[in-house]
Amino acid sequence: MSKPNILMIMTDQQRWDALSCVSDWLETPNMDRIAAEGVRFSNCVSNSPVCIPTRLSLATGHYPHNTGVWDNQNHTLSPDCPTWMKTVRDAGYRTSLFGKTHLHPHGGDLRDREHLMHSYGLDDVDEIGGPRASARCLSYMTAMWEEKGLWDAYQADFDERFSNKPWVTRPSTLPFEDYADVYVGQQAKKYLAGYDRDQPWFCWVSFGGPHEPWDTPEPHYSRYNPEDMPDPVAPIEDDRERPHGLLDAKQKIPFEPGEEKLLRANYAGNVTLIDDQIGEIFDAIEKRGEMDNTVVVLMSDHGEMNGDYGFIYKSNLLNGAVRVPLLIRTPETASGDVAGSVCDSPIEWFDVGPTLVELAGGELNFRQFAKSACPVLEDPTREHRTEAISEYGGEIMLLNREWKIVLNREGQPYLLFDVEEDPGEVNNLAGLPEMAEVENQLRLRILDRVASSQVLSGAHFALGT
């Protein structure tokens, strides 16, 4: 059989539980199809719970403690940096991107930086900024908005939201057909429907949603009843003496009663809108007769708190922000006994890169720390990783099957959860005398992980003494 085509679907800010094969508060039949024909990884952890660090990690296979990029900051990935996308292209694929990458600053005119996308390994490009950046950043999409007379209203809506109450829910000023996630889906669909090269294709479809603001257009805005949404996770109560970290300084939102459920309902509508677009892309591939020879991956860069613990957005190492969906479907899984399997081994989201390289028949020839999940696609009971780590703002988290720990910038444990007894992360055990040995063992595991994943750029993480 010829090399498989590869469809990599990325969402922005989709929580691990925002799938109907996981939760009952939304419907995602097309995402569920990927899970039903492939393997769902139930313990996938983002390398960082913010866009730029984790997307940089995905592209390079390097952790934030290698890159020194710990938060959303102006950073441009060097055009000379090796990436797994280049390796896929070198394996004979025509590569394409539709949507957001955030591998360089979102300002000015993205069309002027297509040469960067080509240098990263992407041949055919229609890049957009995220929902916030699209209020100011030119792209093929926003130029179309401007030509249609839609951009001014979009900008005014954003200015009002973020100067007043950023967590307000109301429909976008954009017509449904011009909404960013619809634009991305339709551009990818059109490209694949008309693809006429003799090379296999790799298509990265990178939606900007369900990233805030909560502006899902109709009819999806009204798709879900807020009263049917789950209650938010209550704030952690642990007033005892213990080390503190970034989470302790995070401002809680002064929600009015029921506002968290409004957020969740709007968010669910956006996820379902994206799911509908995925279904249309699948239809285009089916019409080409290529679904039986296509790899499909669904992933997200990080989650969204949606009112859990009194927070919105991400930028912390709790479940809602750091755990993400990961579904991988191959022609072999779709026709084999593993279809519909769930792998509960920890996995890190940048492991997608070497996985796709292996499926493309390529070989990475540069030092990186991501790990192919192909063995798990043959046997989902295999242990892919014994633990997963994630990093943000100089802090580091480790998750294994028993424990989750977060160290602050001084290397002190300030969050500790028993994930078997407390999967909802409501009982923080950090600082309890009886947890000292557990904390020490997990801290040593983090030290080992950081020490074993060093590059010349060096680490910026302080483990303390």
- What pLDDT is recorded for position 456? 53
- What pLDDT is recorded for position 302? 97
- What pLDDT is recorded for position 465? 23
What is the pLDDT of the chain when averaged over all its residues? 94
pLDDT digits (tens, 9 = 90+) for 69-90: 887 778 889 999 999 999 999 9
Residues 6+ apart with CB under 8 A from 232: 260, 261, 264, 306, 307, 308, 309, 310
| Sign of CA pseudo-dihedral 228, 314, 114, 90 | negative
- What pLDDT is recorded for position 460? 38
Q: What is the mean pLDDT of residues 100-110?
A: 91
CB atoms inside a 10 Å sphere around CB 152: 11
Q: Which domains does the chain have, with CATH numbers?
A: 5-385 (3.40.720.10)
Least confident of 141-150, 156-165, 266-275: 156-165
pLDDT above 70 for 242: yes
- What pLDDT is recorded for position 18? 98
pLDDT above 80 for 148: yes
pLDDT above 80 for 36: yes
Higher-scoring residue by pLDDT: 67, 375 = 375
CA dist 194 and 197 (Å) reads 9
State what percent of residues in the chain have pLDDT above 90. 91
Residues 6+ apart with CB under 8 A from 419: 399, 401, 402, 403, 404, 425
CB atoms inside a 10 Å sphere around CB 190: 14
pLDDT digits (tens, 9 = 90+) for 271-302: 999 999 999 999 999 999 999 999 999 999 99
- What pLDDT is recorded for position 464? 30
- At position 203, the amino acid (one-letter code) is C
pLDDT above 50 for 458: no
pLDDT above 70 for 22: yes
- What pLDDT is recorded for position 457? 43
pLDDT above 50 for 459: no
Band of residue 107 on the pLDDT scale cut at 50, 70, 90: confident
pLDDT above 80 for 181: yes
Paired with 41 in beta bridges are 343
Q: Considering the entire predicted model, what is its pTM?
A: 0.95
Residues 6+ apart with CB under 8 A from 273: 179, 181, 182, 209, 216, 217, 220
- What pLDDT is recorded for position 253? 95
CA angle 257, 261, 262 (to 5 degrees): 95
- What pLDDT is recorded for position 72? 76
pLDDT digits (tens, 9 = 90+) for 446-456: 999 999 988 75
